[in-house]
Amino acid sequence: MKMNLQRWLGSMVQVDRRYVQLVVVLVTLLLFVLGGGAPVDSYFCSGC
């Protein structure tokens, strides 16, 4: 019982770590493309 609980907790930690890492990658990539890219779209011209 204790082993199963420890194994389950270990799995949860692994999942959480990957989620955090995935979010870090996504946010970093979003900021990178917004900063490094230079397209102009209708966002900058409301109403036109």
Partner 1 sequence: MILTLAVMAGLVASLLRASYLRQPLQPPTLRSVWLVLMAFLPQWLAFHWVTTARVLPFMAAAAMLVFSQVLLLGFAWRNRGQPGMVLLGLGVALNLAVIIANGGLMPIFPEVVTRFAPNAGGTWTTGERLWWSKDIVLPATATHLPWLADRFLLPDWLPLRAAYSLGDIFIALGAFRLLWSISGNRQPNPAAAGKQVRATLL
Q: Site residues (CB under 8 A) for partner 1?
A: 7, 10-12, 14-15, 18-19, 21-22, 24-26, 28-45, 48
Residue (1 or 38) nearer to partner 1, CB: 38
Phi, psi of 31 (to 5 degrees): -65, -35
H helix or E strand, kind and range, residue 9: helix 2-36
Residue (5 or 40) nearer to partner 1, CB: 40
Structure tokens at 7: 């194994």
Residue (1 or 36) nearer to partner 1, CB: 36
